[in-house]
Each structure stands twice: as C-alpha cells, then as structure tokens.
Amino acid sequence: MDKILEGLVSSSHPLPLKRVIVRRVVESAETPLSQAQCRAMFALSTRLVLQGPDPFQRQVGRQVLEAYGRYHRAEFEAFFNRGLVLGLLQRGYGELSNRDPAILDYIQAGLRLIMSCPSVLELFELLQVEALRLVCERPAPPLCARLCQLLGDFPQCLPRGRKLSLAFCQQLVRSIAHFQSQGNREAELRLYVSQVTQVSGLLQSVWKAEPDTLLPSLQELFAVISAADTSFEPSVALASLVQHIPLQMITVLIRSLTTDPNVKDASMTQALCRMIDWLSWPLAQHVETWVIALLKGLAAVQKFTILIDVTLLKIELVFNRLWFPLVRPGALAVLSHMLLSFQHSPEAFHLIVPHVVGLVHSFKRDGLPSSTAFLMQLTELIHCMMYHYSGFPELYEPILEAVKDMPKPTEEKIKMILSQSAWTSQSSSLPSCLSRLSGKSETGKTGLINLGNTCYMNSVIQALFMATDFRRHVLSLNLNGCNSLMRKLQHLFAFLAHTQREAYAPRIFFEASRPPWFTPRSQQDCSEYLRFLLDRLHEEERTLKALSSAKTAESLVNEESQAQESVHKAQVFAEAACMGSEERTLIEKMFGGKLKTTICCLNCKSMSQKEEVFTDLSLAFCPPTSLENVGPKCVERSEVKDDCMVQINASATSLAGETPLNSLEVNGGCDTMNEGTIKDFSTEPNSESTTNSELHKVQDNTDVSQRLVGKNTLSVTDLLNYFLAPEILSGDNKYYCEKCASLQNAEKTMQIIEEPEYLILTLLRFSYDPKCHIRRKILDNVSLPLVLELPVKRATSPLAVVSGGWSVGVEISDIGENLAKKLKPSGADEVTCPQLVPYTLSSVVVHSGVSSESGHYYSYARNVTGSGPSGLCHQSTALSLVSPQDKLLTEESPCTVVENELDTEMPREWFLFNDSRVTFTSFQSVQKITSRFPKDTAYVLFYKRQNSTCGFNTNSANGLWVNGDPPLQKDLMDAITKDNKLYLQEQELSARTQALQAASASCSFRPNGFDDNDPPGSCGPTGGGGGGGFSTVGRLVF
C-alpha cells in the first residue's frame, strides 16, 4: 500500500483523480495490517509531511498519518518513540533542519495520536528539556511561536520545577528580545505580530500558573533593555509583554526600580528610552501607563538628569507616533506627560513645533471622529505649552493659524494642568523618613529666601509682584544692555514667575535696592524701603529718559561750530530734562496720584492752593474726644491749651508698657512718625505749632471722632476720612495771609484730585515717645474693606497751581507753619466734581511684633487686574469714602459689609507670602489676623483701581502670555532655563545624598501651613522665618 501511495502522489495524474485514490487509501486504514505494513505507512507519511515538495503531498502525509495512527495506535506508539522525537529535535529530518517549524508541527500531531498511551509521559519529560534548550538557542519568531503553540496545547511539556521554569521564562524573554521582522509588507508584519503575540501569551500563562516566575522575568526584561551593549538593540516586540503585567504591581515595581542603588543612571536612561520605543508596537496595551509611571517615579526621587536626557532624545519619536492610528492613544498620553512636565525650558517643546502644523492638517483631512477627538486633545496640549513658553511668535503663529477653529482651554484650566504636571509636583516615592524636596508649592507661586532679616524687602516685593499691571509693565520693558535697578527688578519678577524653585534668593536685587542707611542683617521698616525703592525707580527712569533725549537732540547739531557746541549741549540737556519730567514715569503711571492742599483765610476768605504728587498716603489713627466706649488699651488725659479742652488718646503699646505719651504726641498718641520717617517733630522748631494745629483739627472734627468712639474696630475708611478732614490753623500755627498782610486763622483742607492706578496706604502704627526715646506700636485692629470708593475731586476749570514737585509720600503730620507759609493765595473759587473711584484690595503687608526695630513682615495678596471689577467684590457692598466736608460717614459697620463680601469669595484666591513659603489662604484670614494674633497688624495696603484702562490687553498678537504676562526677553528666558536646570540637578544630588542616609535618617514633618496657635508672622520654624538661610537648594520648612 505504501508503494502504491508513493507512486500515486508523485505521478502526473490529474489532481482530482489523485484525491479520489488518496481517499480510498485513507479509508483502507480501518483494515488490519501487519506491523511492517503499518511501519512502512508511518515512514511514508512522515516523509511526505516533512519533505513533501508541494502542499498536496504534505496534506496527504498528514491525512494518512492521522488515519493510520488512530486505527493502529500500538504500532504508531512503537514508531513515534523517544529516539524519533529526539532525533527530529536535535538533527532534523534528512535535509530538513531541526529548526524548521515543520518538525514541531509533526511532533504536535504525533502527541495528539498517543495522548492515551503510557509512552507519552516519557515524551513529555523529553520535551521539557528540549523546550528549554530550544529557547536558549534564540529561535526565530516562526519557530519560537510554533514551540509556544505546542507548549500551550500540551502544558505537560513545559519545564517543571521552580528552577527550570524560571530559567525557561527568562530565556524566553531574551528570545523575544532577539526577534526581528523578516519583511516590511503588511501581510508579513501581521504574521510577525501574531507570532510575537503567541509567544507573549505563553509567558502570561506561565506567570499565572507560577506567580513566582513573574518578578524574575521582569528583572530579566529590565536587564535586557538597560544593557549598554551598542552591538545589540533589543526588539520592540518586548512591548507585547507589558500588557500581561498586572497594573496593581506598578507602584511596587516602580518604587523598587527607581530607588535601587545598583541601577546606574546610564542603565535607567537606556531602559526608559527603549520603553518609549515600545510605543511603536501595535496592539500593545498599557505601555504608556508604565512609561508614564516610570517618568513620575524618577521625578519623585529627583532623578532629573535622566528625565531631561530621555525627553530630549525621544520627544520627536513620540510625536511622530501620532501619525499612526494604532499607536496614537498611547503616544499622545506619553507626549502630553513629557511636555507638561518639562517646564524648566522650552527646548523639548520647540523640537516638535516644526511638525505640529502638518499633523494638524492631516487630522483635519481625515475627518474621522477619532481624528477630531485626538486633534482636540493635541490642541489643548499645544495651547498649554505656548501659554507657558510665550515669547516666540515667529514659531507659534503658524500653529495658532492652523488651530484657530479649535476650542481653546481657559486660562484657569491651563494653570491647573501645568501646576499638576511639573516634575517638582510629583509625589515622593521615597520612604517617609526622607524630606521631600519639592519645587513650587501647590499655589504655583515662588517664595523669597530670607537673606538675614530681609523679610521687610520680601513682603514688599511680593506685593509689587502681585500688582498685576505693574508686573506686566515691568516685564514688557526692553532693558537689554542696561544695568539699572529696574532691570534687576525685571530679572527678579521674571524668576518669580518662571523659576521651578520653591523659593528664590534675591541677593543681587537686595544689594542694589537697599537704602544706604539700612544696616545689613537688621530689621528695617518695609514702608520706608518701599518709598525708597519707588523713588529710586522713578528718578532712575527720569534720568535715563533725560540722557536719551539729550543724545537725540545733540546728534542734530553735529554740524554746528565747536564754539557753540558746549553752550548748546547744556541747553539741550536742560530741555531734555524738562521734557522727561513732563512724560510720566512708570512709577508715576502705576502709583502716582495728586493731592491738592487748600488753605482758606477765615478773615478775607482768600484761598491758596498747592498740588503734590504722592505714591502712598500715610494714615494716622483717629483720636477720640470722650472717655466713652474707649477700649482698655486707651489711656486718656485732658490738657488746656489756648482755652481749648482736648483729649489725647495714648493708645500705644511699648515693651515697658505703662508710660502715657505727653502733649507733643498727636493723633491718638501717634505723631504719625512712620517707621521710615527720618525727622523727629519733637526736636523741630515748629513742633509746638504742629501739636497745636492738630489739637484744633481734633476740635473741629468732633462729630467725626464721636462717630468713631464706641466702634470696636476702626476701618480703613475711617482713617482715610480722618486724613481728608479739614483742619483749623490757629494760635501759634496761624496762617500768614498775604491779602490781609497778617497772621490769620485759616482752614486747611486736602483733596485727592488725581487717583493712582494702585493706591498704597500706610497705617502709621509706630509713634515716637520723646520721654523714653523709643517708638511704640499701635496694636489697634483695623478692618480692611475688599472694595473702597475713594473721593476724587477733579477740577473743571483751570487752576493757578504752585507745583509741589515729586513727593514720595504724603503724611498727615506734614502740617504746620512752614507748609502754610509756602502756600500762595489764589483768590479764585474752584468748581469741583466729586467722584467716587472704586478700588479693590490687592495686597496687605503685615507687621508681626511690638516694635519697629524687631518683629517680622509677611504679606497677603491676590491677583487683581484692571479689566473690571473683581468677581468677588460687588459695588453694592463697597465701603464708600465720602466727602469729609459734608460730614457723611458710612453708617454701616465695616465688619458687617465685609462679612457680606466674604460670602462671594472665590476659593484659593488669596495667597500668604511668608518669605520662602507660599500657601493658600482666604480673605477671612486676612481680616481676622489681628484678632487671632494681636501682635500681627496690617501695615501697608495695596488697592487696585477698578475699571482701569491702563492695564495690558492679554489678548496680544500671539495670545501666549504666561499668567497674562508679556513674553520675556531672550536673555532672561535663557537665564531662567539655565537656573531651572541647575535647580533640578541640585534637587537630584540632594535626593541621592538623602537616599544613601535613609537607613539612619529620622525626621518629622510639620504641616505646610500654620494653625490657630502658630501665627504666620512668627519667626519660628513655621513662620517663614527671619533667619539667614543661604542654601542654594532652598530653605524647606515643614
């Protein structure tokens, strides 16, 4: 029968005829045959299966083998023995190599036929050994897939025992690493993917059956992808294994991997790069999940060098994967994480910028719902990056044009995405005993390191930085090549806005801006510093403008004679200086207002007027006129002077405590001696006149004071009304009237005729005690309205004005004979139009302590722009400041109004800046700070004018301002990028050092904030401090 069959299949008869005869041969298998005949049929069918020259012969061989093996099982068991199988696996069959998949096909078919025979157990033992040998020889994908199929169908052939099983899994992982596709056509690629899937599926089965093999297999996988051997590149087919790793193991595996001291940086970098390459593998699941988890794990242990290198190496490859729909979801997830976390430099983003427009157009051409959805996600990502790295319109304009019809995320959403994605915001995976070295706090704001009692500067700088329009103007200035103080302020603002550091050390700015009379490393007055700083910036800008104008004009006269040149230069400079004074400086535009002082002779009714420019108003505390409802701190006494009975409120506190102030102290025990005021009125020639004038002012405004007596809490409204109240000049402080040609009683009034963009109010809390020669602090609580309305009286007719020039501050104490004699009578009645200008509270600088020479400063602030009323402040609840001449004071308690305002406050709008620490707070905390901590009192207030028209239009040409700020100059951005990279390196070095000391380290955490028992203004460990930390990594307070 075997001869007939062999001649038939090799004959030239028609194929249908051959099939009919073959069917007859297969049917005859049921007839009894001798052992020799059976063996001959088995040998022939084996030869046809393994060496058949065409598919027909191989098919005939399989049919005959299966039929005769089934009906003659004992004979086939004897034929299909250990020797035959071992020979096939080790030597092959004739010319057929032992690495041909057909060998395994034949063995699998044979195993099916003898499954019920005892000899199959011997073959299983043989195959367990041979399977391990085969995978150690790194079989090609077809053979390996066929072996895995056989082992999947017959799991009895899998290596047994933990050692052999583990070795098999590890070697199979290495075999996958050597896989390479044999072609580039779609059919070939599909076959290759299916083969890899077959192999990875077997590994999954082994891991499920024997869980102990999983972790060693993953260790082997990491060893393969982290190898630095440049002659061997592991196959991306390894990505097929990721989907079989339980996601529950991510936390444990990533933590173990990132904290293992034996894993070198080069190995980790190599492994991460290859894992990112796995994004190219189709149908692989969870690859992006593991890649992102590893990126976050490295950020958590501050291994920023690896993250930087990998991002710059692979960002373009990840972006290019977006062109392929099969791998697009995973690629977009990794791309988003890499870009959003790489916030210290635009380098990574700019690598993909040239390719964005083409991809966007491709998505639009597709028109598929999936492409549209991905385009929306990509557009949101691109907007976030352009927002964060503004200042490159030439790069971004084509992108903006391409995505102009796509939805744009809101600024709030962009801020939230960026704040949650930075490397320095990743939660730490280190043991709890390690200090967490973090970047910016959750607020997204940067603190200022205390350089040694420099909290007075830090609090002022943060308040100025949070003055949004001022900050934007400063950042928009083109100051390249200029070494001015404004340039240094611009540099400081830029770092506060863009640095990755938790806190920045403003050493250069401090040295440049410190007043010469300020002793280094000693506490100073923040109000005095603020005045000096604004004055310096103002005068510096005027000088630079004058020099610029002089150079411009001088260039026009180069052809004049040498004899006239020197004279003309002097004239040109003088004219330029005048022109510069007429053009307002940035400080004048932002903080400058005008105050008009009018003195009216009570005899002839002639008037004298003077205008002064101010940048801040210093508000004294109102003295009461009776003993009723006076708080327990007030010590009152009466004195008779010029037949007038007055009461002096000695509401002051000193370290000694009980000594009442004498009659030289005015305004309720405060001679309005601001902490920054140099002069001492008790030693000046006109100090008595000043005192007498103040006493008459108190008498003239009895109704004002009486309305304030009995109120538990003063408000800023009260202090401003008192500041603007009229005053009688009489007695020793009479006014010299030129019209009467004699000293006369007169009435002095002050009116604000031009409001500033930012209204700075200083509460004069420090009073000078001439007896003890110390300065005491008034600890009275003052209610701070969220919105106040400032009375501004603009003149409608021209006035004869005697200019008072530039004044950095106007104090109510600046009243006396000297001032009165400077004013010239005008004799012209003025027509005024009172207008209430609404202001919104922007910042509050708080002083903590009982003395101007000690204590601590910190500030509360929020973002307030001039585009319109604040969302949490409504005009219906505004505290109005009305004309003091009309004696119309607000009847409603300020506290009541403020409580109404608090109901509409947006969460997390206010920030507490306490040196290097920045935390979220609320306006309620601002209002209650003094009641909670009696030594912590509001000192300097910043109010922003509502409905202002001088603010920046954040919808600029490129529309890409960070926090609405203008793009930075290139040199500034380069400096910030360099420092951010340095900071990440410092973080990494510190983290590695702490990791080495983890075994012996022991420390405790304190909350990143303060509770009711620990005031934010304290100089203790939770107060932001007044210490002199100089660490480049930053002072960390827990």
pLDDT digits (tens, 9 = 90+) for 168-204: 999 999 999 999 887 788 888 889 999 999 999 999 9
Predicted pLDDT at 560 = 53
The span from the CA of 542 to the CA of 613, in Å, is 15
pLDDT at 345 over 90: no
Predicted pLDDT at 418 = 84
| More confident position, 377 or 962 | 377
pLDDT at 903 over 50: no
Under 8 Å between Cβ of 288 and 338: no
| More confident position, 992 or 113 | 113
Predicted pLDDT at 569 = 47
Pairing of strands 774-777, 766-769: antiparallel
How many helical (H) and strand (E) elements, i.e. helices and strands, does the chain have?
36, 25
Under 8 Å between Cβ of 668 and 709: no
pLDDT bucket at 95, cuts 50 / 70 / 90 = confident
Taking only the tens place, the pLDDT of each residue in 825-858 is: 444 444 455 788 999 999 999 998 887 777 889 9
Q: pTM score, two decimals?
A: 0.60
pLDDT at 675 over 80: no
Under 8 Å between Cβ of 471 and 963: no
Predicted pLDDT at 31 = 84
Predicted pLDDT at 668 = 34
Least confident of 487-491, 677-681, 1034-1038: 1034-1038
Q: Which residue has the tokens 């092959």?
A: 92
Active site residue 72: no
The span from the CA of 544 to the CA of 580, in Å, is 9
Predicted pLDDT at 865 = 63
Mean pLDDT across 285-309? 89
Backbone φ and ψ for 613, nearest 5 degrees, come out as -90, 140
For 477-490, letters b (16+ CB in 10 Å) and e give bebeeeebbbbbbb
Looking at the DSSP bridge assignments, the partners of residue 920 are 911
pLDDT bucket at 473, cuts 50 / 70 / 90 = very high
Looking at the DSSP bridge assignments, the partners of residue 404 are none
Q: What is the dihedral of CA 736, 738, 740, 746, to 10 degrees?
A: -40
Predicted pLDDT at 635 = 29
Q: How many CA atoms lie within 13 A of 200 on its CB side?
A: 24
pLDDT at 466 over 90: yes
Give how far Cα 565 sits from Cα of 285, 397, 544, 555, 559, Å: 82, 50, 22, 11, 9
Under 8 Å between Cβ of 298 and 253: no
Backbone φ and ψ for 259, nearest 5 degrees, come out as -105, 0
pLDDT at 674 over 70: no
Q: Is 599 helix (H, G, I), strand (E, B) or coil?
A: strand
Predicted pLDDT at 892 = 42
pLDDT bucket at 656, cuts 50 / 70 / 90 = very low
| More confident position, 392 or 650 | 392
Among 535, 545, 534, residue whose Cα is nearest residue 582: 545
Q: Is 618 helix (H, G, I), strand (E, B) or coil?
A: strand
Q: Is 815 helix (H, G, I), strand (E, B) or coil?
A: coil
Give how far Cα 738 sits from Cα of 84, 339, 614, 814, 816, Å: 134, 74, 28, 22, 17
Mean pLDDT of the chain: 75
Mean pLDDT across 716-741? 89
Beta strand segments in 460-592, E: 503-504
Q: Which residue has the tokens 């500041």?
A: 723
Predicted pLDDT at 952 = 55
According to DSSP, residue 451 is labeled B
Beta strand segments in 402-553, E: 447-448, 503-504
The span from the CA of 373 to the CA of 385, in Å, is 19
pLDDT at 582 over 50: yes
What is the 3-state composition of the chain as percent helix, strand, coil, each rounded to the nearest 5? 50, 15, 35
C-alpha angle 65-70-71 in degrees, rounded to nearest 5: 110
Other C-beta atoms lying within 10 Å of the C-beta of residue 1013: 7
pLDDT at 708 over 90: no
Predicted pLDDT at 148 = 94
Amino acid at the residue 917: R
- Phi/psi region, residue 547 (left: phi>0; alpha: psi -120 to 50; beta: rest), is alpha
pLDDT bucket at 457, cuts 50 / 70 / 90 = very high
Looking at the DSSP bridge assignments, the partners of residue 841 are 943
| Residue 409 in tokens | 């995320």
Predicted pLDDT at 133 = 93
Least confident of 19-28, 501-510, 642-651: 642-651
Mean pLDDT across 312-318? 93
Predicted pLDDT at 839 = 93
Predicted pLDDT at 654 = 33
pLDDT bucket at 883, cuts 50 / 70 / 90 = very low
pLDDT at 339 over 80: yes
Predicted pLDDT at 806 = 43
Distance of CA 301 to the CA centre of its chain: 19
Looking at the DSSP bridge assignments, the partners of residue 510 are none
Pairing of strands 782-783, 766-769: unpaired
Predicted pLDDT at 391 = 65
Which residue in 38, 148, 169, 455 is the catalytic one? Answer: 455
Among 579, 705, 572, residue whose Cα is nearest residue 646: 705
pLDDT bucket at 932, cuts 50 / 70 / 90 = confident
Backbone φ and ψ for 22, nearest 5 degrees, come out as -60, -40
pLDDT at 875 over 70: no
- Phi/psi region, residue 653 (left: phi>0; alpha: psi -120 to 50; beta: rest), is beta
Least confident of 577-581, 766-770, 881-885, 910-914: 881-885
Pairing of strands 936-945, 832-848: antiparallel
Active site residue 856: yes
Mean pLDDT across 309-325? 92
For 639-655, letters b (16+ CB in 10 Å) and e give eeeeeeebbbbbbbbbe
pLDDT at 939 over 90: yes
Mean pLDDT across 682-696? 37
Beta-carbon contacts of 66 under 8 Å, excluding residues fewer than 6 positions away, are 109, 113
Which residue in 72, 498, 538, 856 is the catalytic one? Answer: 856
- CA-based radius of gyration for the chain: 43
The DSSP string of 42-92 is: HHHHHHHHHH-SSHHHHHHHHHHHHHHHHHSHHHHHHHS-HHHHHHHHHH-
Under 8 Å between Cβ of 29 and 22: no
The span from the CA of 788 to the CA of 840, in Å, is 7
The span from the CA of 134 to the CA of 126, in Å, is 12
Taking only the tens place, the pLDDT of each residue in 225-253 is: 998 888 889 999 999 998 888 888 888 88
Amino acid at the residue 655: L
Among 70, 84, 78, residue whose Cα is nearest residue 35: 78
Taking only the tens place, the pLDDT of each residue in 401-437 is: 999 888 888 888 888 888 877 776 654 433 332 333 4
Q: Is 3 helix (H, G, I), strand (E, B) or coil?
A: helix
Predicted pLDDT at 316 = 94
| More confident position, 489 or 13 | 489
The span from the CA of 817 to the CA of 837, in Å, is 32
pLDDT at 574 over 80: no
C-alpha angle 948-952-954 in degrees, rounded to nearest 5: 125
